[in-house]
A and B are shown apart, each in its own frame.
Chain A
Amino acid sequence: MRILRAGDVLILLAGTALVGASYAAFWSPRAAGDRAIVSVGHDTVAHVSLLEDRKIPVDGLLGRSLLQIEDGRIRFTESPCPGRYCIHTGWISRTGQVAACLPNGVVVEVEGGAREFDAINL
């Protein structure tokens, strides 16, 4: 008796291919994020879409920071900090990228796509 017949092999192959294809479709890396999470200290203050160009004011510990969204990217354009490191960071758009104004306590992180890196050496 043969336990495995040609039809069974076909089903097995088709099933494996289907799982592979769906895995690729659902889990393949798409690094660009489509939204950002904005927090002040430990509190999340906004989830924003990166698909709509606009400017977003965020009130932090020192005063108001201004975030700009354009072409799926986000950056700090104004902040009441002396060092301006947040503005130097420039645009971020890939999932997991972070821009922060530490004196003002405002942190922006891109979300929604696949994370390429678990951490970035800065």
Chain B
Amino acid sequence: MTGYGLVTARLQLRWALFAVLLMVAACGRDPVETRYRFTAMGTLVEVTIFDHPPLEAEAAAQDVEALFLDLQHRWDPWNEGPLGRLNQALAAGESVQLDPGLAAIIDRSNDIARASGGAFDPAVGSLVKLWGFDDAANIPDRPPSSMTIRTALEAVRPLPGIWDPSTATVATAPGVAIDLGGFAKGEAVDQAISLLRQRGVGNAIVNAGGDLRAIGRRGDRPWRIGVREPRLEGVLAAIEVSGDQSVFTSGDYERFFEFEGRRYHHILDPRTGYPSQGLVSVTVLADNAATADAACTALMVSGPEKWPGVAAGLGLDKVMVVEDSGVIQVTPAMHERVRLLREDKPNLEIREIP
């Protein structure tokens, strides 16, 4: 090669290097992220879609909004929708055969109620109403009297005892009202993810008031999820998810009031009629959002000692709970997934699922 040729080759190499470096630098800029937010089911819902044409992404998110609003109407225990009509009929002493749509969700919630050993039970609607936790816009200022709680509790019959899946019929049960809170949000998130997939969306989070299911990834990294501190400001832990996973957290700080120095929160123990005790928050990582949602309620109710047994019944292996004493209990599988962010070393206990 001539000297001239050698210089040209070297120059070409430098330009090639420059071009590669430029591309590497340009890779730092993210593809488009579309965020769409709306209010439904008494909470703020956010749809995040990554690396999808923005107009299509926004249209898909608007369809998710329409879906949530439709489900909110269908599953409101106290309005004129299908579930509201079921509760009116139960209050009138009738047995009711359900349409296939409502029957499907009642059946799924019944399976979870059974698997949780009664720690989750949608048949506590009258208790939820008695406490005043049925209205997302309002908060009660005092607990009901112990007498009225006892009366309401005596009228409750667990869902598995009144639901016949073979005929899709709810048996006569005056005093029972079905409330899908603690399950409906998760079910809606699952349906929203199905809708997004039908629209060709592969990377998304549907986040209903902090409870979410994430699919795909955020470009070259997993989705990053923070779990809030139950008692302090800020974030307790970080969890990275990719592929398809749901992360749900329930706590006694979400809806509560204080009366005479005591906190009363919205997660009621179906066996006592009072708010659950011992745990301040439960975080569940599961494939399915509806299961994760109901599991949070069931594990809060089960308390600091018994929750691993209930988690086993529900087929869960990734759970983190925070006790009212501040101790964090975590399953081995969850321990591998969470990164605790507290500056002070937390009091951590590893709990095996039996």
Residues of A within 8 A of B24 (CB): 19
B14 lies within 8 A of A11 (CB): yes
B264 on interface, CB distance cutoff 8 Å = no
Q: Assess the A82–B226 pair: CB atoms within 8 A.
A: no
Q: Is A8 in contact with B14, judged by CB distance below 8 angstroms? A: yes
Q: Which residues in window 1-32 of A have CB below 8 A to B? A: 1, 3-5, 8, 11-12, 15-16, 18-19, 22-23, 26-27
Contact: B28 with A122, CB < 8 Å? no
Contact of B210 (CB < 8 Å), options: A4, A15, A105, A121: A121
**Inter-chain contact count A-B, CB under 8 Å?**
103
Interface residues of B in 117-148 (CB under 8 A from A): 136-139
Q: Is the CB of B25 within 8 A of A117?
A: no
* A1 partner residues in chain B, CB cutoff 8 A: 1, 6
Find chain A residues with CB under 8 A from B210 CB.
119-122
Contact yes or no, B48 A119, CB < 8 A: yes
Quick one: given A22-B25, A83-B137, are A117 and B13 in contact (CB under 8 Å)? no
Q: What separation, in Å, do the CA atoms of A120 and B249 have in the docked complex?
A: 10
Interface residues contributed by chain A, number (CB under 8 Å): 36
One of B39-47, B165-173, B310-318, B325-333 at the interface: B39-47
Return the chain A residue nearest B9 by Cβ: A3
Q: Which of B32-79 contact A (CB under 8 A)?
A: 37-39, 42-44, 46, 48
CB pair A119–B46 under 8 Å, yes or no, is yes
Complex CA gap A23/B138 in Å reads: 48
Q: List 18 A-B residue pairs with CB atoms under 8 Å apart, sorted by A's residue number.
A: A1-B1, A3-B9, A15-B18, A16-B21, A26-B28, A27-B28, A83-B136, A83-B138, A102-B136, A116-B224, A116-B238, A117-B238, A118-B48, A119-B212, A119-B223, A120-B228, A121-B249, A122-B209
10 smallest beta-carbon distances between A and B, as pairs: A122-B210, A117-B226, A121-B249, A120-B226, A83-B139, A121-B227, A119-B207, A82-B138, A103-B137, A118-B223
Binding site for A on B (CB under 8 A): 1, 6, 9-10, 13-14, 17-18, 21, 24-25, 28, 37-39, 42-44, 46, 48, 136-139, 205, 207, 209-212, 214, 218, 223-228, 233, 235, 238, 247-249, 254-255, 283
